[in-house]
């Protein structure tokens, strides 16, 4: 496993398990399988409705070594709503702190300073270690950075070969914000891409490993989702090999 250093001073695993649309026993089983395989990072959100299913999977595991991210929905960004959501999330997950809390989507109806002040309070109380954003544009990040007392450690955005986030990544790199790529396989839409398949066969790898390797080599965290144990194992095997520059560039050229 590789780790990226956050502006908060904590380390974040470069690979995590995505859990959007995973519910109930499917979610519990998938998280359990991932933990057994060695995943040490789980990505969830209040709106996914699976905190309790994840808690069941975490039973008997030392959660200190597991990096857990959750997200507060855009309707809960006022101070008191955020703290209420956060406390509920901790009790649903059965943990005493989150590693990372993200604003799931920006909401212009709520002053960003109010939301960030609530998050800073939570950091002070030790209930969350790092804070960040999701689906924030450069402008959204600039506004947030102007008013926050606690650094924005992460911005989680849709990022895959058809949706290359060059400008946003450059901005984040310049400002010490780690980018997390969600839907790294375009929620399945990249499956079968002929160029990716050709590169994959050259390395005797899967298309999924090629995409994840491309993202991680940019310093981007990846959170692929899979319920298939073989795919979960496949998605972990991305750290001890490299893409050659011409293949890296061929993937860059897939941007639409
Ligand atoms: N912040 C946000 O607004 C936001 C939005 C969307 C998603 N997310 C996060 O990002 C995570 C990942 O994104 P996602 O759920 O949209 O989908 P994704 O990870 O891009 O794609 C999931 C699909 O890829 C397949 N897959 C996974 N590994 C594979 C492999 N090695 N070979 C072949 N197929 C493979 C899965 O099928 P199998 O199950 O059959 O393997 C599934 O159909 C989410 O779960 C969530 O945690 C965040």
- Tell me: the pLDDT tens digits for 22-48? 999 999 999 999 999 999 999 999 999
Can you give the pLDDT at residue 103?
A: 98
Residue % of the chain over a pLDDT of 70? 100
CA of residue 69 to ligand 1 center, whole Å: 16
Centre of ligand 1 from the C-alpha of residue 98, in Å: 22
Beta carbon of 155 within 6 Å of any ligand 1 atom: no
87 vs 70: CA distance, rounded Å? 12
**CA–CA separation, 48 and 35 (whole Å):** 19
Ligand 1: centre distance to CA 22 (Å): 10
136 CB near ligand 1 (under 6 Å) = no
Nearest-CA residue for atom 36 of ligand 1: 226
Residue to substitute in 45, 47, 182, 229 for testing ligand 1 pocket (most ligand atoms within 8 angstroms of CB) = 182
For 111-168, how does the pLDDT look when each residue is reduced to its tens digit (9 = 90+)? 999 999 999 999 999 999 999 999 999 999 999 999 999 999 999 999 999 999 999 9
Which atom number of ligand 1 is nearest to the Cα of residue 226?
A: 39
Q: What's the rounded Cα separation, in Å, for the pair 118 and 114?
A: 6
State pTM to two decimals.
0.98
The confidence band for 17, taking pLDDT boundaries of 50, 70 and 90, is very high
CATH number belonging to the domain at 13-187+221-226, selected among 3.40.1160.10, 3.20.20.100, 3.90.1150.10, 3.40.50.1100: 3.20.20.100
* Percentage of residues of the chain with pLDDT beyond 90: 97
Extract the tokens encoding 57.
């999977």
- From the candidates 48, 171, 203, 248, which is the catalytic residue? 48
Confidence of residue 187 (pLDDT cuts 50, 70, 90): confident
- 187 within ligand 1 shell (Cβ under 6 A): yes
pLDDT at 54: 98
pLDDT at site 118: 98
Instruction: Give the C-alpha distances (Å, rounded to integers) separating 178 from 53, 133, 207, 227.
Output: 28, 10, 24, 26
183 lines ligand 1 (CB under 6 A): yes
pLDDT value at 192 more than 90: no
Band of residue 188 on the pLDDT scale cut at 50, 70, 90: confident
Which atom of ligand 1 has the smallest separation from the CA of 43? Answer: 47
Over range 218-241, report the average pLDDT: 97
Burial of 129: CB neighbours in 10 Å, binned 0-12, 13-18, 19+: buried
**Distance, CA of 150 to CA of 123 (rounded, Å):** 8
Confidence of residue 93 (pLDDT cuts 50, 70, 90): very high
Residue 180, exposed/middle/buried by CB under 10 A (0-12, 13-18, 19+)?
Answer: buried
Determine the distance separating the centroid of ligand 1 and the alpha carbon of 183, expressed in angstroms: 5
Predicted confidence at residue 189, as pLDDT, reads: 85
pLDDT of residue 211: 98
Instruction: Report how far residue 62's alpha carbon sits from residue 225's, in angstroms, rounded to the nearest whole number.
Output: 22
Per the annotation, the verdict on 48 as an active-site residue is yes
């Amino acid at each position: 496993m590789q780790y990226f250093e956050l502006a908060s001073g904590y380390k974040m695993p470069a690979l995590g398990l995505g859990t959007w649309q995973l519910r109930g026993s499917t979610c519990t089983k998938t998280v359990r399988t991932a933990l057994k395989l060695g995943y040490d990072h789980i990505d969830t959100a209040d709106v996914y409705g699976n905190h309790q299913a994840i808690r069941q999977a975490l039973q008997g595991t030392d959660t200190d070594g597991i990096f857990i991210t959750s997200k507060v929905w855009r309707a809960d960004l006022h101070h008191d709503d955020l703290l209420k959501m956060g406390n509920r999330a901790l009790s649903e997950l059965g943990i005493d702190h989150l590693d990372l809390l993200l604003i799931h989507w920006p909401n212009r109806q709520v002053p960003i300073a109010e939301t960030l002040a609530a998050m800073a309070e939570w950091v002070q109380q030790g209930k969350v270690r790092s804070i960040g954003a999701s689906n924030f544009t450069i402008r959204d990040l600039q506004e947030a950075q102007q008013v926050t007392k606690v650094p924005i450690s992460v911005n989680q955005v849709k990022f895959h070969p058809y949706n290359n986030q060059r400008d946003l990544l450059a901005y984040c790199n310049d400002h010490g914000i780690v980018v997390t790529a969600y839907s790294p396989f375009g929620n399945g839409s990249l499956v079968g891409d002929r160029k990716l398949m050709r590169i994959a066969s050259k390395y005797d790898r899967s298309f999924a490993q090629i995409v994840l390797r491309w993202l991680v080599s940019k310093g981007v965290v990846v959170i692929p989702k899979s319920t298939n144990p073989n795919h979960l194992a496949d998605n972990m095997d991305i750290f001890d090999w490299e893409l050659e520059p011409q293949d890296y560039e061929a993937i860059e050229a897939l941007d639409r």
